[in-house]
Amino acid sequence: MPELPEVEVVRRGLERWVSGRTVASVEVLHPRAVRRHAAGPEDFAAQLRGRELGAAQRRGKYLWLALPGTGSSLLGHLGMSGQLLVQPEGAADEKHLRVRLRFADTAGTELRFVDQRTFGGLAVEDADPSDPDAAPMSLAHIARDPLDPRFDDAAFLAALRRRSSGVKRALLDQSLISGVGNIYADEALWRSKLHYERPADTLTRPAAELLLGSARAVMSEALAQGGTSFDSLYVNVNGESGYFSRSLDAYGREGEPCNRCGTPMRRAAWMNRSSYFCPKCQRLPRHR
């Protein structure tokens, strides 16, 4: 699933190629793609038709474009395989094209939502009046992410050190910190020399600060390289893949030597996923 750097790359593409344009028509080719829009596909299209798309914004893994003057936004989530692509109007339709937005200008491009597994989706949703970013109402439970200027380091560190769960589980809790997924959690834990099952409430303040700094650093580095792409499912709005996968120290490196100590990396089943770690550098403490 795309994580914060991958979604931020898409946000930047939308800001460049879509923000400020007026929607001329909307075509919903698969109703599941707008299932989060309770009023249905026809209302979804009607809410967007003739509307200008404002600035592209992000909260964790969610994207939205404000609809100026309406108090609402176009909200999107990529799910496992969703893609928001800016394509020439005459380009052949993708096999899994779900929604198409055409614009009233003469730029010659359109916005397409493509989703093979249809876990992602789009919706028009009212903004939260109490949120300074005017985020959609459904994002009220989503915490800010480490790259957000309003992220509260002190509050996060205090909340993290109150958790009795394993530290990786805490990192993936989107109500505590958003945008961190399986890949970057493993990378941050490797950099911090922490075992994924280490109880979060056993972390010292310096260890917790190192973990937050590691998460912030690895996601910033990934963002600079266009995100992490393992296959053709994750691309930016121009269909280009990121290449941070070449720089990973932990994720996907089972059996390869640890880049720090040379010990073969291990993979362990964890919450229907995998955790990659160095058994020497990231030992689980025997006692709490």
Q: Name the residues annotated as catalytic.
A: 2-3, 61, 273
**Max intra-chain CA distance, the chain:** 66
Closest CA to 180 of 150, 230, 146, 229: 146
Contact 85, 94 (CB under 8 A): yes
Strands (E), 160-251: none
Contact 120, 97 (CB under 8 A): no
The one-letter amino acid at 188: A
Contact 224, 6 (CB under 8 A): no
Contact 281, 193 (CB under 8 A): yes
Strands (E), 29-96: 56-59, 62-67, 72-77, 82-88
Closest CA to 145 of 217, 61, 82, 55: 61
Closest CA to 71 of 24, 18, 128: 128
